[in-house]
Structure 1
Amino acid sequence: MENKLNKRNVAFLGTYLPRECGLATFTQDMMNELEKIRDFNPPRVVAVNNNATYAYGKKVMMSFNQNHRWEYIRIALELNRSNVDLLVIQHEFGIYGGESGEYVLDLAERLTIPFIVIFHTVLTAPNPKQFQIVARLGELSRRSITMAQSTVADLHKIYGIPAAKVSMIHHGVPSVETESREQLKTRYGYADRQIVSTFGFLSLGKGIEYAIEAMSGVKVKHPDALYIVWGKTHPVVKQEVGEVYRQKLVDLVSRLELNENVIFVDKLLTQEEVVHSLVLSDIYMTPYLGKEQAVSGTLAYGIGYGRVIISTPYRYATEMLADGRGLLADFRDPKSLETSILDIMDHPDKKNQMEQKTLDLGRTMIWNQIVLQYAAIIRDSVQSETQYTIQGSVI
C-alpha cells in the first residue's frame, strides 16, 4: 500500500510521436522504460506541435502549438493544478516558439512543481538569446542534464549553472534482439557485401555527399563495398525546399557511376529497422558538418550496437570515439573518409578490436540502464520538493 501511495507522477514536455522527430523517439523510449519501474506511474506527455495536427495516443495529457505564446502560460497553470510531481523539459531551440525558442521560459517561470531539463544542444558560443534561455532554465531547474562529458563544464562555465546541478547521462539506446550480421545481410539481400551505412533524417548538414565521393576510391579496391543511406528527408526540410538535397545526392551517385555501390532507403525506419541497419553494417558513418554538435542519437545507436564508427570530428564524436572506439576523418574531405574506410576494410583484426571496445561502452548505454539514472534524479528532485513543502518554502 505504501509503495502505491509513493508512486511518482512524471510528465515530459517536448515533441512526441507520431511527429517525426528524433527527440520524440527519445521521449518515447525513456517513457517506455520509466513505466517499468515500480515506484513510477506511467509517464505522460505535454506534446509540442508545429503547424500540423497529430493523432496522439492516451499518453498525451495535453498538446499545444509551439508558436502560440499564451499556450505556454496555460500549460504551466494546468500542470500546477495537476497531480504531476515533476516535469521533464526536453530542450532543443527549434521546437519552441519565439526567438531561439524563448517561449519555453514563459512556461518554466510559472511552474510551481519542480522540473528537470535535458539539454539536447549545448552551444559554446551562444547568441544572447540562446544564452538567456539555457541559463534561465538551468537556474530554475532542479537538475540540468547533458549527454556528453565535454558539455558538463560548458553548462557551468559558460551558462553559470551550478556544477552540483549538472549531470551527464549517456543518450539511451533501445535493446532489440536480432539475428547475426551475416544472417541480416542475407535477409536484406546484401550477402557477401561489405556494408557502410548512415541512418537518420536527410538534410544539408549531414555531409552525405562527401561520403558518396569517398566511395569512388573505396570501390576501386573493394568493388563489393556498399554504402546504404537509410532514412527520409527531414520533414521540415521537405516542407521548405522539397527533395533538393536527396536529388543532389542521387545525381552525384549517377555521375560517379556508383549505382552498384550506393543506395538510398527513402523511408522512416521503425526501431527494429534502425537496429537491423546497424547490426548488418561493417562500418557506421556520420560525416556530419557541424563542428559544435554536442549529441548525436544516431552515433549513440552505433556505439550501443558495437559498430566500428567513422566520423568527422564534431564534439560528440570526438568524445565518444576516443580510446580506439572509431576513426575520425576530416570535415568535408572525401579522401580522408576513403582512407578511414579502407583502413577498416583492409584490417579485419583492427575492425574486430574496435567493435569490442565500442561494445564495451555501448552496453552501458542501453535504455534499461540509462533510465535508472534518470529515475534516481527524479526521486531526488521530488523528495527535495517534499522537504521544501514541509518547511513551508516551496521553490
Structure 2
Amino acid sequence: MTSSLNKLHVAFLGTSLPRECGLATFSQDMMDEIEQIPDFHTPFIIAVNNNKSYAYGSQVMGQIGQHNRSDYHKTATELNHSTIDLLVIQHEFGIYGGESGEYVLDLAEKLKIPFIVIFHTVLSKPSPKQCMIMKRLAELSFKAVTMVQNKVQDLHEVYGIAREKIAMYHHGVPMVDTESRIELKARYGYTDRQILSTFGFLSPGKGIEYAIEAMRGVVAKHPEALYIIWGKTHPVVKQEVGEVYRQKLTELVAMLGLGRNVLFVDKHLTQEEVVQSLVLSDIYLTPYLGKDQAVSGTLAYGIGYGRVVISTPYRYAVEMLADGRGLLADFHDSTSLEAHILNILDHPELKAEMEKKTLALGSTMMWSEVAKSYAVLFRETIAGSYDLKGSAV
C-alpha cells in the first residue's frame, strides 16, 4: 500500500501521442491534469503500437505490440514489480490484439496492482466475445467507467456488470485561452460569414455527405454560410481504402455548386486549432450515422465551448443535447439537418439561448474539473487496493 506521505504513481494503458488517435489525446489530456495535482507523480503511459513506430516522449514507460501476445504478459509482470500504484486501462476493441482485442485480458488477469477500466465504446448489441471481454475486465477492475449516463444501464443489463462497479464521468475538454468568435472570424477572413463546422478524423460513419447536401438549401437563404470540415482522413481508413471518402465528398461539393460554401482543411489539428475552430463557429455539426455511439470527443468539445450543436440522435448526443442544449436531426436526412440549421440562422435569439444552456453544462466538463473526480477515484482505488483473490497487496 502506498504511504500517505508519498505521491501516488499512476500509469495508463492505451495508444499514446504522437500516434494520431482520439484515445491517445484523451489519455494525454488526463495525464496533463493529474500531473498538476499535488499528491500525484507525473503519470506514465504504456503505449500500444499498431504496425508503425512512433517517436514517443519520456512519459512512455513501455510499449506493447498490438498483435504480440507475449508483450501483454511481459508488461503485467513489469507493472507488478514496479512502483506503479494504479493502472488505468483505456478500452477500445480495435487497439488490442486478438479477436475483439481479447489479448488485453492476458495483462489484466496477470496484474496484481489495482486497475480501473474506461470503456470508450459500449455497444448495445455486442458479440459474445465483446461481451465477455468487457464483463471480465469489469470483474477484475476496481471500477468500470463510462462517459455517458445512459450507458450505465447497458453495462449492467447487457454486460452483466454489477452496478456498484460502474462509475460515470464526463469526457473531459481542455481549457485553451483563445480570442473571441468575432476576433477569430476577423483573423481568418470570415467576418461576414455564418460558420458551421465539423472536426475530427474523416470516415464514412461521420455522415458528412448529409451535412453537405443540407448546405444547398441553407445557402439559398443564407449565401454567407460556410461549412468547414476540419481534419485528416482516419489513418486506418486511409491505409485500407485511401482517400475514397474525401474524394466522394469533394465531388459532391462540386456537383452541388457549393465550392464557395464548403471548405475542407485536410490536416491533423493541434489542440489550439481545435478550440479555435469551435470558438469561431456559429453551429457545430455531428451528423453521425451510428445510433449506438457511446461517446463523441468532438461533441464533448463543442459543448465544452458552449456552441450550438446540431446532431443526429446517437446515444451520446441524445443525452448531452437534452433540455434545449442542441437540436437533433434524423439519421440519413439532409432535409432534417437543413431545417435545423435554418432555424438557428434565422433566429439569433434562439442561438444565444442555446449557447447559454450548453455552456452551463460545458463549464463542468473541463479537464481541470473532470480530473479532480478521477483523482478521487484513483485515491480510493489505491487506498483500498487488494488483489483479485482477496489478499492485500
Asked if these proteins are the same fold (TM beyond 0.5), I'd say: yes
User: 1:101: which partner in 2?
Assistant: 101
Pairing of 1:269-280 with structure 2 (within 5 A): 269-280=269-280
Structure 1 residue 189: Cα displacement: 1.6
Q: Which deviations, in whole Å up to 9, do the C-alpha atoms of 1:171-227 show, x marking residues without a partner?
A: 000001111101101111211100000000000000000000000000000000000
Structure 1 residue 368: Cα displacement: 0.3
For the Cα contact (< 8 Å) 1:304–1:363, is it kept in 2?
A: yes
For the Cα contact (< 8 Å) 1:206–1:286, is it kept in 2?
A: yes
Instruction: Structure 1: state its 5+ residue gaps.
Output: none
Aligned mates of 1:26, 1:312 — CA distance in 2: 23
Structure 1 residue 14: Cα displacement: 0.1
Aligned mates of 2:309, 2:45 — CA distance in 1: 34
User: 1:124: which partner in 2?
Assistant: 124
Q: Which deviations, in whole Å up to 9, do the C-alpha atoms of 1:350-375 show, x marking residues without a partner?
A: 00000000000000000000000000
Aligned residue for 1:236, secondary structure, equals helix
- The yes-or-no answer on 1:316 pairing with 2:281 is no
Aligned mates of 2:391, 2:254 — CA distance in 1: 67
Amino acid of the residue matched to residue 138 of structure 1? A
User: 1:287: which partner in 2?
Assistant: 287
* Count, aligned residues: 391
- The yes-or-no answer on 1:56 pairing with 2:56 is yes
- The yes-or-no answer on 1:236 pairing with 2:224 is no
Amino acid of the residue matched to residue 252 of structure 2? L
User: 1:253: which partner in 2?
Assistant: 253
For the Cα contact (< 8 Å) 1:11–1:86, is it kept in 2?
A: yes
Q: Which deviations, in whole Å up to 9, do the C-alpha atoms of 1:271-309 show, x marking residues without a partner?
A: 000000000000000000011001000000000000000
Aligned residue for 1:63, secondary structure, equals strand
Change (3 A) 1:336 1:112: same
Amino acid of the residue matched to residue 278 of structure 1? L
Aligned mates of 1:26, 1:381 — CA distance in 2: 21
Aligned mates of 2:43, 2:382 — CA distance in 1: 15
Structure 1 residue 348: Cα displacement: 0.4
TM-score, with length taken from structure 1: 0.97
For the Cα contact (< 8 Å) 1:210–1:334, is it kept in 2?
A: yes
Pairing of 1:1-395 with structure 2 (within 5 A): 5-385=5-385, 388=386, 393-394=391-392
Aligned mates of 1:89, 1:394 — CA distance in 2: 21
For the Cα contact (< 8 Å) 1:3–1:39, is it kept in 2?
A: no
Aligned residue for 1:109, secondary structure, equals helix
Aligned mates of 2:124, 2:176 — CA distance in 1: 35
Structure 1 residue 3: Cα displacement: 8.5
Instruction: Structure 2: state its 5+ residue gaps.
Output: none
Structure 1 residue 394: Cα displacement: 3.0
Aligned residue for 1:365, secondary structure, equals coil
For the Cα contact (< 8 Å) 1:72–1:107, is it kept in 2?
A: yes
TM-score, with length taken from structure 2: 0.98
Aligned mates of 1:289, 1:224 — CA distance in 2: 27
What percentage of aligned pairs have identical amino acids?
69
For the Cα contact (< 8 Å) 1:304–1:359, is it kept in 2?
A: yes
Amino acid of the residue matched to residue 271 of structure 2? Q
Structure 1 residue 92: Cα displacement: 0.4
Structure 1 residue 393: Cα displacement: 1.3
Q: Which deviations, in whole Å up to 9, do the C-alpha atoms of 1:2-32 show, x marking residues without a partner?
A: 9884211000000000000000000000000
Q: Which runs of 4+ in 1 moved over 4 A?
A: none
